[in-house]
Every structure is written in C-alpha cells, then in structure tokens.
Amino acid sequence: MLESNPVVINDFPATMYRTFQQAQQTLAGQRSGDPLAMSIEDARQQQSRYFQALNRLVPDVARSDDHTVSGPHGDIPVRLVSARVQENLPCLVFLRGAGFWAGGIDSHLGTIHRLAVLTGCAIAAIDYRRTPEHCYPVQQEEVLCVLAWLGRHGAELGLRAGAWAFFGESAGATLALSATLALRDQGQMLPAGLVLFYPNCGGPKAGARPYSLWVWRSYLGGADPEAVPGPVPLRQDLRGLPSVWLGCGEEDPLLADAQALAARLESAEVPCRLVQFPGMPHAFVMHAAALWPARLALEQAAAQVRRLFDSPSTETSPS
C-alpha cells in the first residue's frame, strides 16, 4: 500500500472550462501541426508549440529522473516521475500519443505529472522513436526493451517488483496493446492492466481520413497489415490479456475503434470497461489544465490505476 494520506492537486487556473471550444481559446491561437500540409520538420515544430501551450500549470512532483536505456536501435530516453519520495512504488508505463510522428516526454509533461500525483505510482515515460523515419516494429521493440530494463533495475529505481501497468493515449494506446500482446505471445510477465484513451487500433480503413491513412502508412512502412497483424491490435487474438479500461470522447473519429475493441475484448472474456465522454474530441485529455471534463476523465483513469494496485484514493480540488 502507498501512504494513506491523499495528495491534493492544486494546479487549477482561475477558470476551468466546460467545453472543448472554450478551452481551445486559452491556447493563444496555437494549432496542431499537419504533416500532410507541410514538411515533417515544420509540422513537428508547430506541434511542439501546440504542446507547449497545453503544458501550463504543470503540477510539482518530488522526483523527476532522466535515464538512458541502450536499445536495439540506439539509446532510448526514459523519465521516472513520482509525486512522493518513496520506495517500493508500483510503476505506470506511459506511452504518448501524437500519431507516432510527433512529441516526446516533455510534450506530455502535464499528463505525466498529473498521473504521478493522482495515481501515487512512479511514472515511467518512454520516448520511443518517431515515424516516418522509424517504422514498426521499432517502437514496439523499444518499449519491450525498456520494460526489460525496468524489470532488471526496478529495486534500485524504487519500484515494486512485478507491479506495473500501461497508460497510453491514441498511438501510445495502440502501442501498449501491441506490446502486451507480444509479451503474452512470448510468455513474459503481463501488466496488471491497461488504461487507454482513444486507441487507434483498427489499422488503415477504406474511407478513413487522409491523416489517419498517413499515420498508418508511416507506422507500417512497407508492411502489409493483413500479412503482419502485429501492429494492428484489432486484427489479433485478444484472449489472455489483462483488464483494459478505455476512455474516448463521443466526438472522436476513433470512437468506432474503441467500441470495436471493447466488443472484441468482451468476446475474448477480457475484463473491459469503455467510458464515453460527451462532447469531447480526440486528444481532449491533454487539455486537463483548463478543461474540466478532461480533468475528470484523467481522475477516472487514475482511479482505475489505483484499483489495479489497491492503492488509497487521491483527490483534486480547485484553488
């Protein structure tokens, strides 16, 4: 068990908004990068500015340590973050979204720090390599490499042996599913559970948005998803997975993927819960600094993480 006293997040701005459109107005006109309309370098720069605008009022944490793990494709940056200086913490492995092509650890700093406070876990954020320069299975291999490193060095890092789970958003949720399926197939230790927002897990589909098709083409490279189902979780046998908690906005174009995944997991007798958030689009959780539904969604996800490890409750309250 973790400490019994709840931690209070106290990073609320003067105004918390109820709608996504209102929260967007706080970003000073910053918008996501579009790799279909500009070079990948320019799209990443614009996306970085957008992430910086989102990462306001990041909660303080007691520990933030950067590590480098030697991997099959070069060094892999990993950051360990926890809200308390405490040993024997469960570990929540964080895999970012951003379509595989953008972002890094700092791009999701607000979410990482809030999860550390809300869950009481040590957050291990993995900076896997980006597409289109690196295609599947590079990202999955890097995640598996870091998991093995955490297993070998967990005691010296202050982690509880065998107590870990996945948290992933969008592309990161897809990667968490694929990595867990690979662990299952290899007979390795599985996570206690998966907590995922808006997974992009169905692969390329006829009639999909051009951006979605580009994301999958960049991730797959020359691989045929019909012949190599590994990167596409919905094309795999899902039996034997640990429990899965899914969150998705009702305005998200990936809602159909989340619903299909929930149905497939139920058919595979995998414990699963899908929570749909009215009026919310894709990637809304990153707006938790100013968007009240995003804050509540993150709290629900954190509560599921705590249940996985039988940890005491954590509270948030406005200033």
Delimit the domains of the chain by residue range. 18-316
Maximum Cα–Cα distance across the chain: 54
Question: Per-residue pLDDT averaged across 139-146, rounded?
Answer: 98
> Which pLDDT value is given to residue 275?
98
Encode pLDDT of 161-199 as tens digits: 999 999 999 999 999 999 999 999 999 999 999 999 999
Structure tokens that stand for 304 in this block: 């599921």
> Which pLDDT value is given to residue 5?
37
Average pLDDT, the chain: 93
Residue 2 has pLDDT above 80, yes or no: no
> Which pLDDT value is given to residue 313?
42
> Which pLDDT value is given to residue 9?
59
Residue 92 has pLDDT above 70, yes or no: yes
CA 304/CA 301 separation, integer angstroms? 5
> Which pLDDT value is given to residue 3?
46
pTM of the model: 0.94
> Which pLDDT value is given to residue 223?
86
- Count of alpha carbons within 13 angstroms of residue 126, beta-carbon side: 35
Encode pLDDT of 242-278 as tens digits: 999 999 999 999 999 999 999 999 999 999 999 999 9
CATH fold of 18-316 reads: Rossmann fold (3.40.50)
- How would residue 79 be classed by pLDDT, with cut points 50, 70 and 90? very high
Structure tokens that stand for 143 in this block: 């995640």
What is the DSSP code string of 161-204?
EEEEEEEEETHHHHHHHHHHHHHHHHTPPPPSEEEEES---S--
- How would residue 304 be classed by pLDDT, with cut points 50, 70 and 90? very high
Question: Per-residue pLDDT averaged across 93-106, rounded?
Answer: 98
The alpha carbon of 156 is separated from its chain's Cα centroid by a whole number of angstroms, namely: 25
Instruction: Assign residue 262 a region (left: φ > 0; alpha: ψ between -120 and 50; beta: otherwise).
Output: alpha
For residue 118, with 0-12 CB atoms within 10 Å meaning exposed, 13-18 middle and 19 or more buried, which class applies? buried
Instruction: Scan for tokens 């592309």, then name that residue.
Output: 171
Q: Please give the residue that has the higher pLDDT: either 38 or 222.
A: 38
> Which pLDDT value is given to residue 226?
83
> Which pLDDT value is given to residue 11?
61
